[in-house]
Structure 1
């Protein structure tokens, strides 16, 4: 089979690896519009279950990814001068550049052709048995046929910026800082021995009140370093280079598609769906898409049937993740509701931000119910069964247009 992957991110590269492992006779080319090594971003996160799946699908690249990753088990929340630390699940961070280096080297070793500086537009896609649109949320291939795919975009309320720092965090760290214009907060996690990712977020009125909408990038970074001095311990923040657009602030766009294929063209990763960054699942979902599509193509089914199977499987798997991402984003959009709580309770509800019931109950009441459910199995089962139903009923009563 001749396969063309448009987009040299984790999804496209990993699909190429898996298809070559399934059948070395496949003719696979990955087209990436940017020069090699020019990817933007500091680090991405993933968790132990993904690493286990990577090992099952390609042990060699999984070993390289694990060896290049930072890891943590604790979560830390800083609210003003107060700090709370909790033990949690094992998490990993890896530099985006390093992840792409590993996957590109593995793909080349298996015989995949990588064409950097090669842009494929939506006007006409290459001749192949299968064309994979793995060119991100702004996919040119998908945008050209957005009516067919049924593309929908929901823009979030808050503003955020993706930054880096030389500070190496020993835990997944949250920091919440009060300003004269409202709260501003950051998520920080290590991606290697020399640095960490820092995502800064705030409400739009805080963003404009602090002047972040009109201040030059260097001044923005200096201002953020002042606010997060207790988090950074003297380390600097870094943004994108001026040639890459400096330090852009944007609102997150949740992207969905009604269908994922058109003839021999199929969507993969962010081209098919996005989930809010606050749950740290973007790279995991992209790699899992690649696993599912490769498995669907392994059997004797005709291409349309294989693509339909892939779409069914991934849409079903995405439902709980998309729900968790939606409620997580909403938790941050309503942050003042929770910051009045004692830090221990606030941190507990930070961990519960995926709950569909939490937005509809007073935070203290939810906290007490959750604590009780943790000790009483019948109450825990009742919460799991009735929580989503009650949340749907309450949501149906909301005024139209509420996020």
Structure 2
């Protein structure tokens, strides 16, 4: 029996999302003798969400840790390099880094199949709360999402903080298959409303629609039922949907599930033998498309820490330290990205190619402090002058750390 099995004989993963499933795969690869069970409250195949995005860097990491699942994920993904921004009746297209999209249902299906192949026990339709944790488990992984019941039972210990964003958004699907990562900004008499669209397979695309609170109420989206809301949105974005419908998930009362984004942080990620993973530990604004990537990277870091440390407290401390440090820049980028959209009027009247260029720079901690036209000019010059590039790289992290201290004192 290997060192891992001697110390972490039984592992219980609560939550069958990408993080929990991938962790179970990695633990079983590290030690086939380990007893690993994933508990998921929903029936198998029942998941909400259309598609997820990721980038080449994640695929490289997956290939390094489990080539079989990486190969399956890549084979079932679509890819793009272009980004398109529609602003009113004007359009700009830019070539960027290679991005990937895959259906959330397909991703979970692939990871579940790989976990079963390695001997992981999957129990669907099984909800685990803090009151009925497996008492004989050496390690319990709370991968049960933003509204984690396991974290909620110990919220004071974890130092959980949730900050709500200002804008309203809704997560939809469409049968329109976008050939590029697509942004569309539509001006209404009540303000701007916009969408992010990206393909995840031949069956369709994800379409996230967002607007300021005044636009949401002005258009009547706060009062519309599901069908009425979708009809209005289809009319507003008809020029990018090309006649394809939007699809949502109706709530019990028939209203569309418009949300405000919840940015969640935790000061402590573990207690005793229970550790947080993925959205249960942290969230980052959807506009940077990093949620699934961060969840899978959490799983990689936790599995690595378990392999390197025979004492559980040391392993969990190492995992927490590594991930909290790694997340700093991403969380900063997500905050600035969300703020860019919340301050859209500051940028929307620029020529489309300039607005799109600053859209690509929305995670910059410098942008909020520099007039947009000036920033655009400086950024172009900085790209050509080495000393300015170095100054930008030096100043950006300093502003990011300053903003992080202001907004999350004592937190992540």
Contact 1:123 1:144 survives alignment (8 Å): no
Contact 1:5 1:133 survives alignment (8 Å): yes
Change (3 A) 1:388 1:23: closer
Change (3 A) 1:107 1:245: farther
Q: How does 1:118-129 map to 2 (within 5 A)?
A: 118-127=126-135, 128-129=137-138
d(CA) in 1 for partners of 2:73 and 2:253? Answer: 27
Contact 1:186 1:200 survives alignment (8 Å): yes
Contact 1:276 1:325 survives alignment (8 Å): yes
Aligned residue number for residue 8 of structure 1: 16
Aligned residue number for residue 25 of structure 2: 17
1:225-276 superposed Cα distances (whole Å, 9 cap, x missing partner)? 0000001011110001456976300000000000000000000000000000
d(CA) in 2 for partners of 1:118 and 1:82? Answer: 50
Aligned residue number for residue 104 of structure 1: 112
Aligned residue number for residue 192 of structure 1: 201
TM-score normalised by length of structure 1: 0.96
Q: How does 1:2-401 map to 2 (within 5 A)?
A: 2-127=10-135, 128-242=137-251, 247-389=256-398
Aligned to 2:296, the other structure's residue is in SS state helix
Q: Which runs of 5+ in 2 are unaligned?
A: 1-8, 408-412
Contact 2:332 2:404 survives alignment (8 Å): no
1:346-377 superposed Cα distances (whole Å, 9 cap, x missing partner)? 00000000000101111001111111101101
Deviation, 1:337, is 0.4
d(CA) in 1 for partners of 2:205 and 2:224? Answer: 24
d(CA) in 2 for partners of 1:360 and 1:326? Answer: 15
Contact 1:167 1:235 survives alignment (8 Å): yes
1:78-110 superposed Cα distances (whole Å, 9 cap, x missing partner)? 001111000000000000000000000000111
Contact 1:132 1:266 survives alignment (8 Å): yes
Deviation, 1:125, is 1.7
d(CA) in 1 for partners of 2:253 and 2:142? Answer: 23
Contact 2:40 2:126 survives alignment (8 Å): yes
Aligned residues: 398
Aligned residue number for residue 3 of structure 2: none
Aligned to 2:347, the other structure's residue is in SS state helix
1:92-135 superposed Cα distances (whole Å, 9 cap, x missing partner)? 00000000000000001111010011001123421200000000
Structure 1 residue ranges, 4+ long, deviating more than 6 angstroms after superposition: 391-398
Deviation, 1:384, is 1.7
d(CA) in 2 for partners of 1:393 and 1:115? Answer: 45
Aligned to 1:339, the other structure's residue is in SS state coil
d(CA) in 2 for partners of 1:192 and 1:209? Answer: 34
Aligned to 1:275, the other structure's residue is in SS state coil
d(CA) in 2 for partners of 1:28 and 1:391? Answer: 39
Aligned to 1:234, the other structure's residue is in SS state coil
Deviation, 1:291, is 0.3
Deviation, 1:395, is 9.9
d(CA) in 2 for partners of 1:205 and 1:68? Answer: 40
1:120-172 superposed Cα distances (whole Å, 9 cap, x missing partner)? 11234212000000000100000010000000001000000000000000000
Deviation, 1:394, is 9.2
